[in-house]
Amino acid sequence: MPTTIPAMPEPGHDTRPKYDWSKILDGEVHHFGPSEVPSTPRNFAKQVEKAARKRGLMVRVIARKRQGVYVQRLP
């Protein structure tokens, strides 16, 4: 059954970043479990690589179907 909400959302696409890329790309090793990624580990890994490219950073990304995604910014 649908829920009732007080108002309609604002029109247009939400342009706010979904992830805190500065935290994810801070140089530490980050692990995102399979339940923490929005779709598949492979697709999330591509999002990470694209975000790093946009910022001129190099990253190491390992995506494993059952383990999730590991991310580390390289020096």
Q: What are the domain boundaries of the chain? A: 27-74
pTM exceeding 0.85: no
Q: How far is CA 73 from CA 27, 34, 48, in A?
A: 5, 20, 10
pLDDT tens per residue, range 27-39: 999 999 999 988 8
Distance of CA 55 to the CA centre of its chain: 15
Q: Give the angle 17-44-60 at the CA atoms, nearest 5°.
A: 100
In this structure, the number of other CB atoms found within 10 A of the CB of residue 19 comes to 14
pLDDT tens per residue, range 31-71: 999 999 888 999 999 999 999 999 999 999 999 999 999 99
Q: What's the CA gap between 60 and 3, in Å, rounded?
A: 42
**Of 16 and 63, more confident:** 63
**pLDDT score at 46:** 96
**pLDDT score at 1:** 73
